[in-house]
Amino acid sequence: MPLWNIYHPDGIFEDDESKAALSADVTTYYTEAGLPAFYVVINYIKMSGNTTWVGGRLPSKEEPFVRITMDHIAIRLPDSDTMYRRVADRLDAIIRKHLEPKGYHWEFHVNETERRLWKINGLFPPPFRSDEEKIWFEQNKATPWEKL
């Protein structure tokens, strides 16, 4: 499951249209990697007023700051600097498309969480790219399956 928490100031991501556009691009990224769409969870968390400070300063309203944290649970990347760089660049391109044209500043990081501690509706997800996960992908929901 990719879980994105997007911490944003007042006036950003307050309309469904901007949330839907970014959410669609994020979901497409993960479904193209083979994950079911329902694995993708995005929380838009408004940080009102003077809540977020960067470098000891409050960001200006003209150059607002957005902080994004991502938890990757469904897939762990191979221990390769090249692979990590490629994934970080692809994630950045998705974010950049939605924030840079508006003059927003952003920062993100990705946590890779242990898959064995993850459940959906009380079910351990099937192995990545298994026949059972393909069923979850097609049905776009968690359904009981026989654990190997």
Residues 120-125, mean pLDDT to the nearest whole number: 94
Domains for the chain: give ranges and CATH numbers.
2-119 (3.30.429.10)
The answer to whether the beta carbons of residues 68 and 7 sit under 8 Å apart is yes
The answer to whether the beta carbons of residues 65 and 105 sit under 8 Å apart is yes
Q: Please say if the pLDDT value at position 78 is more than 90.
A: yes
Residues 99-117, mean pLDDT to the nearest whole number: 95
Number of H helices, E strands in the chain: 3, 4
Range from 5-9, 67-71, 133-137, 144-148 carrying the lowest mean pLDDT: 144-148
Q: How far apart (Å, rounded) are the C-alpha atoms in residues 142 and 137?
A: 9
**Residue 125 — pLDDT band, cuts 50, 70, 90?**
very high
> Pairing mode, if any, of strands 2-9 and 41-47?
parallel
Mean pLDDT score across all residues of the chain: 95
pLDDT digits (tens, 9 = 90+) for 11-62: 999 999 999 999 999 999 999 999 999 999 999 999 988 999 999 999 998 8
Residues 116-137, mean pLDDT to the nearest whole number: 94
pLDDT of residue 140: 97
pLDDT of residue 148: 55
